[in-house]
Structure 1
Amino acid sequence: MPEIPANRRFTRAELSRYNGQNGMPAYVAVNQTVYDVTTVFVQGKHFNHLAGQDLTGAFLRQHAPVSLSGYPVVGILMG
């Protein structure tokens, strides 16, 4: 997989490809920022959440935004 710069822009359709399945990394968006969460999304899942989606609402109900600070930023979610 090539390195993706932090200024990469993702559409929702593009983000959905990064679902942690078939060798793809697991990315999620929170507050329009896209993070690589491959290390915690085993087979594209973390508890009842699926990678490749905007998880802003679900994430903020359970975590403080600072809890993502250890994950690489790979881009921003458009729209």
Structure 2
Amino acid sequence: MTLNELAQHDGRNGNKAYVAVNGRVYDVSASPLWQNGDHQGAHQAGADLTRELATAPHVRAVIERFPIVAHIEDPDPPKKKGLLGFFKK
């Protein structure tokens, strides 16, 4: 799943509520603490919360209780130009 696809799962208007942490995408839709994709006014579903979780008042194990539904895809690395093109005149 790309970050753009993750953003579509914001828990609003009937969408599932997904959050990403450390490359894993969790479905938090069933949690009463994530109603409409909002977590106590501090976080919104559809986002990568890896950094935010580092300062959360609870441990990472709390988010890991939710089902993993996908993994975040790494963006393609920039393509390197081959030496062949360098030597062509």
Q: What band does the TM-score fall into relative to the shorter chain? A: 0.7 to 0.9
Q: Which runs of 4+ in 1 moved over 2 A?
A: none
Structure with greater contact order relative to length (CA < 8 Å, sep ≥ 6) = 1
User: Which has more helix, going by share of residues?
Assistant: 2
- Unmatched 5+ stretches in structure 1: 1-9
- Unmatched 5+ stretches in structure 2: 75-89
- Map of 2:51 onto structure 1: 57
RMSD of equivalent CA atoms? 1.1
Aligned identity (percent) is 39
TM-score, length-scaled by structure 2: 0.73
**Alignment: residue pair count:** 70
Q: Which has the larger radius of gyration?
A: 2
Distance 2:44 2:63 in 1: 16
TM-score, length-scaled by structure 1: 0.81
- Map of 1:76 onto structure 2: 71
